[in-house]
């Protein structure tokens, strides 16, 4: 529907224009930002702590050092320690996330502008659908390659974030390029044959030819992570002419911080782009 | 006891006095001599008795005077006054036809019907815009628009540049009741709101009530915009139309039976889609983009006491491309029967049907995936209104109305060959809205008049329906369903409306008013600009009706033989159960929409000034409004009060029309307002190579101030020709100011990964247009 609006807007507002402008914005106190996504890979899991900065500061986020972080699940406590990079904390031991278990984050002694914060959050992910394969189709106008998901069972209420990989190179390298879908939006979606990604052949990073291996990384994500990503995408692609009024991004952190603590499981499926697919023009 | 006896004696003397001197009633209609159109607000006045009355919405008047010989003046601005001498010995019916003033240059009107209406009328917070005034303003893309014209009035502001949406005294856009021949128009905008549904060629009268809405009307908090269609010429056949930059119009009207009945049919269509192939963009191949309006009306005078009207409006916007489509539109049907019971009692019985619907959908090229989404509103109304001329000093209006609302908020249907999406039907909302009212215009003393009215409204939710029960976190897993026809929730309330006019002298008066209004339905509107896909929903067990109490005082002065009219008003409006939405609210296809609402209070106050000047050569007005509009909703903005989206403290409008000759005129407007409140980011965070905003307070920042000047030149053909025509040249935004429509932010390229810039979007600079209008 957004594209319809765009067409209408193009035709009606032939003279609408955009130009850079200078703004002076009010200053408000900074906040702690938590970015902690735990996965089902057996690794040293990572949690990042940073600080917000003035909107036009135009610098990399500054890490927040000195905090104490633990994650508790099933009476097990995993301790995180700060690495050499300020604000980057890794678990002392390797561990991986399992479905249907609640993971509890506790951060203490996070000090910002002389004030100490204690932060908490929880997250749980459901069992993933059994994703069997992906299939590819060329669009009629040969502008894109569509990727379809095929899953056997349908678990109510799952949320997915999809990232595309072409020949082992991540295509979706920013948060705004993740494709999100959830059953909450349009009732029960069948995941067998769902169009989940569109590789734009006009973009150099996404242009695919015969024999290219297209992979989709399906992140089966917790409700909290989904809410955060959904809100973050809306905020990052905010268009005042079409979007809802701006609002702060969802957070599941209590204690005055923003950001997200979430858990997810990962499935990667691949398919090869063949000449037959290209010739067929559509699936 | 002695005092009581005195009072009774005085009363008896009064009764005897009134019965001893016979009083007769003079009544009839006042209409246009050239077209037969009845004139709303025309005046019958007997100077020797200082007695007068104005016609109602159907051109009817009734005047009581004692037996005798009188000279009666019938007048209406822009028309030649007709003086008739009459020897009144019994009740008499006298219908009058007034000729439009011969010298067109003398008939240009800014506002009002009577020369001293501004001072003598009890009404305040009311503006009437004659069509001649509207047509004299510069146009936008060749289309002069009623809704944009009323945005030039004090206390009224647009919601965004180019939009027909408007806010009255800090109220939301859904708090304006827009009626076309008494039928509710739920979405008065075309083409994303840049044009209104009202075709000027068929509009007879436009009246905007910003406060003290008459007791006969209700259902919205902030304003009543009462638009009446012409009836059609009952004397001769006539055609008129226009060819504009993006649309053309044609209206045909004429008698069915001369002097007894007439018809009118009018159409308008845009042709922007005809230019799509010229854009040479494959993406747009097969695209549709147009809107149309069709207005129809029939009326027939059965006899002196009975007249029937039927009118209809049918309009639609159509957008479409190879992969998606969208359409929305209004339909209204009005059937009215005017009946004069006797010379003192006029009645109107109306049956009204309104429909608003939208549909949109998409389908992939291979047709494997697709959905259609539909939504529809239907209203069925019956109303009976009486105008009772009890005495010259007392005019009563009373009546009843009942409306059945049927809202279907949305239905999603899977149209793809793959059953990927499940069909989804959002629960229908059925309700009844009843009202009974009584109001009286009473002349308490020579200089003191009052209108006292009371409206009592009742709202009922009716099954078949489903109500969700919410906990303190607005979560719901429990719902109750009600069978068809069951009344499962009722709200009601009294809505007093009081207005007082103290006329100091012919040039000065002070007025005051108080009114309470209740609103039982609202718009789920989450986007800044609003869209035709916004969803209307009714009050329910979870959503209480909105209530507004408004107080206003004003000083009114006419000068220079009524050429200069000045009105100043101050108002305060207190609104309860104001609705806003939680952050990231999901409004479309959501059965639990009520869980997305956040409810609180709001208020607005302000000062309004308007000065209008009318002379043969120059007409125009200046309006200035200072106002504030604030909201306090506990769960939003950390519980702190915040600016309403319509809080623009300073608004200044200037309009002028200079008649250089009888054939050549120049129109000029200038508008200025404080920038609209917006929420802008104050801090940032960065996650996964993406810069994200952190906001401080809601609506605490502002867009840059807005100002713009428009110019028009109109050249008319020589008068007294059968075929009349005019060319109108307009230039919108004369000095090309790049007014900010919105502010957005974009990251720089990958060479500056942490850099973000602000961008200003502006819509229109130098929009010229040419319109050719004709009439024969």
CATH 3.90.220.20 describes domain B126-775: no
Do A181 and A275 fall into the same domain?
A: yes
Give me the helices (H) in B672-759, please.
none
CB A161, CB A233: distance < 8 Å: no
Q: b/e string for A32-64 if b means 16 or more Cβ within 10 A?
A: bbbbbbbbbeeeebbbbbbbbbbbbebeebebb
Residue B282's pLDDT band (cuts 50, 70, 90) = low
Q: Which of A17, A53, A174 is the closest to B690 by Cβ?
A: A174
The tokens of B362 are what?
Answer: 């998409």
Tens digit of each residue's pLDDT (9 = 90 or more) over B130-177 = 777 777 777 776 677 888 888 999 999 988 877 788 999 999 999 999
The helix/strand/coil state of B714 is strand
CA distance B29 to A117: 78
Mutate which of B688, B759, B765 to test chain A, going by most A C-beta atoms within 10 A? B688
- Residue B523 CA neighbour count, 13 Å, CB half: 21
Q: Does the distance separating the beta carbons of B764 and A247 come in below 8 Å?
A: no
Query: Are A275 and A158 in a shared domain?
Result: yes
Q: Are the C-beta atoms of B211 and B605 separated by less than 8 Å? A: no
Mean pLDDT of all residues in A161-170: 90
Q: Looking at the domain assignment, is residue A13 inside a domain?
A: no
User: Do A274 and A159 share a domain, yes or no?
Assistant: yes
Structural domain harbouring A156:
131-227+265-280
3-state secondary structure of B201: helix
A114 touches chain B (CB under 8 A): no
Do the bridges between strand B126-128 and strand B96-98 make them parallel or antiparallel, or are there none, so unpaired? Answer: unpaired
In sequence order, what are the residues at sequence separation of 6 or more whose Cβ sits closer than 8 angstroms to the Cβ of residue B711?
B138, B666, B667, B668, B730, B731, B734
Identify the helix (H) or strand (E) that includes residue B440.
strand B429-445
Q: Among B50-54, B178-182, B406-410, which stretch is predicted with the lowest mean pLDDT?
A: B50-54
The mean pLDDT of A199-228, rounded to a whole number, is 88
Chain A residues with CB under 8 Å of B754 CB are 58-60
CA–CA distances in Å: residue B132 to residues B138, B204, B205, B216, B250:
12, 10, 10, 28, 18
Residues A142 and A98 both lie in one domain = no
Is some CB atom of chain B closer than 8 A to the CB atom of A167?
Answer: no
Q: Please indicate whether residue B6 or residue B531 has the higher confidence score (pLDDT).
A: B531
Confidence of residue B599 (pLDDT cuts 50, 70, 90): very high
Interchain CB contact of B258 with A (< 8 Å): no
Of the ranges A189-193, B279-283, B372-376, B548-552, which one carries the lowest mean pLDDT score?
B279-283
Domain annotation covers residue A184: yes
Q: Would residue A8 count as lying in a domain?
A: no
Q: Is residue A141 domain-resident?
A: yes
Q: How far is B681 from chain A (nearest CA, A)?
A: 7
Looking at the structure, tell me whether residues A45 and A171 fall in a common domain: no
Mean pLDDT, rounded, for A256-268: 94
Same domain for A156 and A107: no
Q: What percentage of residues in chain A have a pLDDT greater than 70? A: 87
Query: Any CB–CB contact under 8 A between A189 and chain B?
Result: yes
Across all residues in chain A, what is the average pLDDT? 85
B26-35, B168-177, B196-205, B277-286: which range is least confident on average?
B277-286
CATH class in words for B2-102: mainly beta
Residue B753 is predicted with a pLDDT of 78
Indicate yes or no: CB of B360 within 8 angstroms of CB of A235: no
Whether A255 is in a domain gets the answer: yes
Cross-chain residue pair B687–A11, CB shorter than 8 Å: no
For residue B267, the model assigns a pLDDT of 94
Do B744 and A250 make contact, defined as CB atoms within 8 angstroms?
A: no
Distance CA B370, CA A192 (A): 15
Residue of A nearest to B160 (CA): A241
Separation between Cα atoms, residue B584 and residue B720, nearest integer Å: 62
- Do both A258 and A272 map to the same domain? no
Contact A19 B738 (CB under 8 A): yes
A45 domain-assigned: yes
A43 and A71 housed in the same domain: yes
Question: What is the tens place of the pLDDT at every residue in B625-664?
Answer: 999 999 999 999 989 999 999 999 999 999 998 989 888 9
Tens digit of each residue's pLDDT (9 = 90 or more) over A41-81: 999 999 999 999 999 998 889 999 999 999 999 999 999 99
Q: Return d(Cα B742, Cα B722) in angstroms, integer.
A: 49
- Whether residues A138 and A274 share a domain: the answer is yes
**Segment A93-120, tens digit of pLDDT:** 999 999 999 999 999 999 999 999 999 9
pLDDT in tens, B442-478: 988 888 999 999 999 999 999 999 999 999 888 888 9
Determine, yes or no, domain membership for A94. yes
Is A147 contained in some domain?
yes
Position B109 pLDDT exceeds 50: no
Which of B275, B682, B742 lies nearest to residue A25, judging by beta carbons?
B682
Kindly report the length of chain A.
283
Q: Are residues A168 and A270 in the same domain?
A: yes
Contact yes or no for B401/B382 (Cβ under 8 A) = yes
Q: Same domain for A97 and A191?
A: no
Q: What is the DSSP string of chain A?
A: -HHHHHHHHHHH-TT-EEEEE----------EEEEEEE-SSSB--EEEEEE-EETT--SPPEE--S-EEEEEETTEEEEEEE-SSTTEEEESS-B---TT--EEEEEEEEEETTEEEEEEEEE--PPPP-EEEEEEEE-TTSSEEEEEEEESS--TT-EEEEEEEETTEES--SGGG-EEEETTTSSS---SSEEEEEEETTSTTT---TTPEEEEEEEEE-HHHHHHHHHHHHHHT--TTTSPPP-PPP---BSS-EEEEEEEEEEEEEEE--HHHHHH---
Q: What are the chain A neighbours of B763 within 8 Å (beta carbons)?
A: 13, 15-16
Say which DSSP state B2 is in. Answer: H
Same domain, A270 and A140: yes
| B604 pLDDT more than 90 | yes
Interval A19-47 mean pLDDT: 93
Cross-chain residue pair B692–A21, CB shorter than 8 Å:
no
- Return the residue of A nearest to B526 by Cα: A244
The structural domains of chain B, with segments of one domain joined by +, span 2-102, 126-775
pLDDT tens digits, residue range B413-447?
888 877 667 788 888 999 999 999 999 999 888 88
Q: Do A245 and B419 touch (CB under 8 A)?
A: no
The number of folded domains in chain A is 2
Residue A184, pLDDT score: 62
The CATH number of the domain where A61 resides is what? 2.60.40
Confidence band for B769, pLDDT divided at 50, 70 and 90: confident
A12 vs B421: CB contact, 8 Å cut-off? Answer: no
**Angstrom distance (rounded) from CA B457 to CA B267:** 37
| Nearest-angstrom CA–CA distance, B130 and B740 | 32
**CB proximity A225 to B under 8 Å:** no
What is the distance between the alpha carbons of residues B522 and B467, in angstroms, rounded to a whole number? 17
- What CA–CA distance (Å, rounded) separates B517 from B536? 19
């Amino acid at each position: 529907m957004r594209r319809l609006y765009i067409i209408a807007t193009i035709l009606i507002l032939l003279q609408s224009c955009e130009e850079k402008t200078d703004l002076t914005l009010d200053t408000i106190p900074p906040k702690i930002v938590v970015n902690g996504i735990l996965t089902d890979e057996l690794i040293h899991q990572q949690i990042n702590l940073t600080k917000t900065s003035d909107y036009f500061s135009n610098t990399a986020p500054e890490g927040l050092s000195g905090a104490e972080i633990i994650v508790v699940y099933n009476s097990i406590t995993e301790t995180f320690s700060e690495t050499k990079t300020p604000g980057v904390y890794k678990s002392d031991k390797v561990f991986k996330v399992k479905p249907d278990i609640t993971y509890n984050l506790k951060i203490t002694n996070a000090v910002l502008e002389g004030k100490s914060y204690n932060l908490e959050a929880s997250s749980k992910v459901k069992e993933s659908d059994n994703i069997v394969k992906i299939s590819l189709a060329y669009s009629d106008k040969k502008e894109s390659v569509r990727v379809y998901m095929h899953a056997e069972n349908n678990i109510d209420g799952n949320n997915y974030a999809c990232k595309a990989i072409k020949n082992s190179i991540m295509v979706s390298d920013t948060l705004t390029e993740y494709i999100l879908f959830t059953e909450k939006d349009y009732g029960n979606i069948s995941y067998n044959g769902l169009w989940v990604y569109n590789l734009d052949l006009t973009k150099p990073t996404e242009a695919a030819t015969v024999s290219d291996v297209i992979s989709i990384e399906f992140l089966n994500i917790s409700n909290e992570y989904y809410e955060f990503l959904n809100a973050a995408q809306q905020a990052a692609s905010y268009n005042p002419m079409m979007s809802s009024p701006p609002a702060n991004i969802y957070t599941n952190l209590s204690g005055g911080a923003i950001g997200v603590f979430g858990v997810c499981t990962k499935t990667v499926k691949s398919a090869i782009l063949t000449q037959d697919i290209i010739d067929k023009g559509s699936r | 006891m002695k005092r009581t006896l005195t009072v009774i004696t005085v009363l008896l003397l009064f009764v005897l006095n009134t019965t001893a001197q016979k009083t007769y009633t003079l009544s009839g209609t006042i209409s246009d001599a050239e077209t037969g159109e009845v004139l709303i607000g025309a005046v019958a006045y007997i100077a020797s008795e200082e007695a007068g009355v104005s016609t109602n919405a159907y051109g009817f008047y009734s005047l009581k005077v004692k037996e005798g010989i009188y000279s009666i003046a019938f007048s209406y601005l822009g028309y030649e006054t007709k003086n008739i001498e009459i020897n009144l010995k019994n009740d008499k019916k006298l219908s009058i036809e007034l000729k439009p003033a011969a010298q067109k240059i003398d008939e240009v009107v800014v506002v009002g019907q009577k020369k001293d209406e501004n001072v003598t009328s009890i009404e305040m917070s009311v503006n009437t815009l004659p069509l001649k005034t509207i047509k004299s303003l510069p146009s936008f893309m060749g289309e002069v628009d009623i809704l944009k014209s009323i945005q030039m009035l004090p206390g009224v502001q647009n919601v965004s540049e180019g939009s027909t949406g408007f806010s009255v005294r800090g109220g939301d856009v859904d708090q304006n009741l827009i009626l076309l021949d008494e039928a509710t128009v739920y979405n008065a905008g075309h083409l994303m709101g840049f044009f209104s549904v009202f075709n000027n060629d068929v509009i007879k009268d436009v009246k905007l009530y910003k406060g003290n809405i008459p007791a006969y009307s209700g259902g919205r908090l902030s304003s009543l915009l009462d638009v009446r269609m012409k009836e059609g010429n009952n004397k001769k056949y006539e055609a008129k139309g226009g060819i504009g930059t993006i649309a053309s119009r044609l209206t045909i009207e004429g008698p069915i039976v001369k002097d007894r009945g007439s018809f009118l049919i009018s159409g308008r269509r845009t042709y922007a889609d005809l230019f799509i192939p010229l854009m040479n963009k494959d993406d747009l191949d097969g695209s549709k983009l147009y809107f149309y309006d069709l207005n129809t009306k029939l009326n027939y005078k059965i006899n002196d006491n009975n007249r029937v009207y039927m009118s209809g409006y049918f309009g639609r916007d159509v957008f479409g491309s190879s992969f998606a489509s969208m359409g929305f539109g209004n339909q209204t049907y009005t059937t009215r029967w005017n009946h004069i019971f006797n010379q003192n009692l006029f009645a109107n019985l109306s049956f009204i049907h309104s429909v608003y619907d939208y549909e949109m959908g998409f389908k992939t090229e291979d047709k494997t995936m697709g959905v259609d989404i539909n939504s529809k509103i239907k209203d069925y109304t019956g109303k009976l209104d009486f105008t009772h001329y009890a005495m010259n000093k007392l005019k009563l209006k009373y009546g009843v109305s009942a409306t059945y609302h049927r809202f279907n908020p949305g239905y999603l249907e899977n149209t793809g060959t793959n059953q990927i999406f499940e069909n989804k039907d959002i629960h229908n909302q059925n309700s009844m809205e009843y009202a009974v009212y009584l109001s009286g215009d009473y002349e308490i003393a020579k200089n003191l008049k009052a209108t006292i009215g009371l409206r009592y409204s009742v709202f009922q939710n009716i099954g078949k329906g489903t109500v969700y029960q919410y906990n303190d976190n607005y979560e719901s897993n429990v719902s109750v369903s009600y069978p068809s026809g069951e009344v499962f929730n009722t709200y009601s309330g009294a809505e007093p409306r009081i207005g007082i006019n103290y006329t100091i002298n012919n040039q000065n008066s002070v007025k005051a008013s108080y009114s309470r209004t209740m609103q039982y339905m609202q718009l789920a509107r989450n986007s800044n600009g609003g869209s035709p896909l916004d969803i209307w929903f009714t009050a329910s067990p979870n959503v209480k009706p909105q209530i507004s109490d408004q107080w206003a005082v004003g000083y009114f002065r006419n000068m220079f033989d009524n050429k200069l009219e000045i009105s100043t008003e101050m108002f305060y409006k207190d609104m309860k159960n104001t609705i806003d939405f939680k952050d990231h609210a999901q409004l479309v296809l959501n059965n639990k929409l009520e869980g997305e609402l956040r409810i609180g209070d709001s208020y607005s106050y302000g000062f309004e000034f308007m000065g209008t000047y009318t002379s043969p050569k120059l007409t125009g007005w200046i309006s200035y409004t200072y106002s504030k509009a604030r909201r306090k909703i506990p769960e939003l903005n950390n519980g702190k009060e915040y600016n309403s989206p319509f809080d623009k403290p300073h608004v200044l409008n200037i309009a002028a029309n200079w008649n250089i000759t009888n054939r050549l005129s120049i129109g000029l407007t200038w508008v200025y307002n404080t920038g609209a409140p917006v929420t802008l980011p104050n801090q940032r965070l960065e996650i996964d190579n993406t810069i994200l905003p952190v906001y401080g307070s809601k609506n605490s920042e502002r867009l840059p101030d807005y100002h713009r000047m428009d110019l028009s030149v109109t050249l008319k053909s020589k008068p007294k020709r059968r075929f009349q025509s005019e060319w109108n040249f307009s230039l919108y935004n004369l000095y090309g100011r790049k007014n900010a429509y919105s502010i957005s932010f974009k990251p720089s390229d990958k060479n500056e990964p942490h850099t973000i810039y602000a961008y200003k979007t502006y819509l229109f600079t130098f929009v010229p247009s040419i319109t050719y209008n004709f009439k024969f």
